[in-house]
Amino acid sequence: MSAADRALGALEGLAFGDALGMPTQSMSRQQIQEDYGPIRGFLAAGPRQKIAAGMPAGSVTDDTEQAVLLAELLIEGSGQVDVTAFAERLLGWEAAMAERGSLDLLGPSTKSALRRLSDGLPAEEAGRYGTTNGAAMRITPLGIVRSTRSVPKFVDAVEATSVATHNTSLGIASAAAVGAAVSAGVDGADLAGAVEIAIAAADEGARRGHWAAGGGIGPRLRWAIPYLQTLPASRRADAVAEVIGTSVAAQESVVAAFALAATAEDPWDALCVAAGLGGDTDTVAAMAGAVLGATHGTAVWPDRERVVLHEANDLDLARIARELLALRA
């Protein structure tokens, strides 16, 4: 399996998970079961889906769109991201979404941070309260561009792209974990190896930014994955939803994504499970998909759904993966 296949697998996994969770995001498990039943593939947004109301099956949300935005900035900047340009692109993206009448807008940490940034606060202060999963959900392109041969240097790059919106120990650690797992996968690591590097990166990231209260990403990963592995497969979804948590808080959703990925018997099934858990389903599934795609390649994603994904969205993931990987060299 080539690095190119793993890089594309990560971007596809991100988009597949995002689209699977699009119709269920912010709903409870009970509502999801009542409206859709078990998730097996792409579905259109149902009557109780407020954020993505009316969106057709296979549509991606802000998780993929913001990751593509970051990817394009990395490509334009030869692997570097200008904080001001990043903030301007995010605000422009939200304005375009609002014009279309979408409620799929910037998350709470990103929105408030960009407001402070536009008020003249320096980037390192603007993002000092960002503890949600916004930086982690869009970090996959950086994992393709940067190697984890030096974990501290890799986390330097994560911090640079996260500081404007998520300049906290939790925000940076969570983004470092997802990005490092993707990077390790692109370098050829298997799933267990990628998780190990992700935990090391999370520990390093926890020493960056403004300290924020909450369970640490690295310690929670060390607990959650073995915990889930001790349970029968039939009980794991309950444990993720009820014990680990699936809210926008980084220490819940990012850990949930890794726990699902690390215990996945089939990558596609794991993303379907994530989409049915309730809470921030699109982001949990997207992050799990990025990690699984980077470690397994494109072959684990079904061709039928790939066709639907490309028909429903204007995405050139092959071109993006190719150009990002060229910067890694």
Domain boundaries, the chain: 3-328
pLDDT(105) > 80:
no
Q: In the prediction, which pLDDT does 245 show?
A: 97
pLDDT above 70 covers a percentage of the chain that reads: 94
Average pLDDT rounded to a whole number, residues 93-112: 69
CA distance 223 to 244: 10
Q: In the prediction, which pLDDT does 200 show?
A: 98
What's the alpha-carbon Rg for the chain, to the nearest Å?
18
Q: In the prediction, which pLDDT does 285 show?
A: 98
User: What token pair was written down for 294?
Assistant: 């980077």
Q: In the prediction, which pLDDT does 85 show?
A: 82
Torsion, Cα of 51, 55, 60, 62 (10° steps): -30
Average pLDDT rounded to a whole number, residues 36-59: 93
CATH code linked to domain 3-328: 1.10.4080.10
**Tens-place pLDDT, residues 14-37:** 999 999 999 999 999 999 999 999
> For 6-33, b where at least 16 C-beta lie within 10 A, e where not — what string?
bbbbbbbbbbbbbbbbbbbbbbebeebe
Lowest mean pLDDT among 61-65, 73-77, 123-127, 279-283: 123-127
CA distance 47 to 220: 35
Q: Which amino acid is at 246?
A: T
Average pLDDT rounded to a whole number, residues 136-158: 97
Average pLDDT rounded to a whole number, residues 236-254: 97
User: pLDDT category, 96, cuts 50, 70, 90?
Assistant: confident
Q: In the prediction, which pLDDT does 104 show?
A: 58
Query: In this structure, what are the phi and psi dihedrals at residue 195, rounded to the nearest 5 degrees?
Result: -65, -40
pTM of the model: 0.94
Contact 200, 167 (CB under 8 A): no
Average pLDDT rounded to a whole number, residues 146-162: 96
Q: Which amino acid is at 118?
A: S
Q: In the prediction, which pLDDT does 134 show?
A: 92
Mean model confidence pLDDT for the chain: 92
Secondary structure of the chain in HEC code, one letter for each residue: CCHHHHHHHHHHHHHHHHHHHHHHCCCCHHHHHHHHCCCCCCCCCCCCCCCCCCCCCCCCCHHHHHHHHHHHHHHHCCCCCCHHHHHHHHHHHHHHHHHCCCCCCCCHHHHHHHHHHHCCCCHHHHCCCCCECHHHHCCHHHHHHCCCCCHHHHHHHHHHHHHHHHCEHHHHHHHHHHHHHHHHHHCCCCHHHHHHHHHHHHHHHCCCCECCCCCCHHHHHHHHHHHHHCCCHHHHHHHHHHHHCCCCEHHHHHHHHHHHHHCCCCHHHHHHHHHCCCCCHHHHHHHHHHHHHHHHCHHHCCHHHHHHHHHHCCCCHHHHHHHHHHHHC
Query: In this structure, what are the phi and psi dihedrals at residue 169, rounded to the nearest 5 degrees?
Result: -60, -40
pLDDT(329) > 80:
no
Q: In the prediction, which pLDDT does 103 show?
A: 60
Q: In the prediction, which pLDDT does 307 show?
A: 95
Average pLDDT rounded to a whole number, residues 235-260: 97
Instruction: Kindly report the number of other CB atoms within 10 A of residue 114's CB atom.
Output: 21
User: pLDDT category, 265, cuts 50, 70, 90?
Assistant: very high
Q: Which amino acid is at 105?
A: L
User: pLDDT category, 40, cuts 50, 70, 90?
Assistant: very high
Find, among 180, 199, 196, the residue nearest to 10 by Cα: 180
| Non-local CB neighbours of 9 within 8 Å, separated by 6+ positions | 185, 292, 293, 294, 296, 297, 298, 299, 300, 301
pLDDT(259) > 90:
yes
Average pLDDT rounded to a whole number, residues 159-167: 90
Q: In the prediction, which pLDDT does 101 show?
A: 59
Q: In the prediction, which pLDDT does 111 show?
A: 73
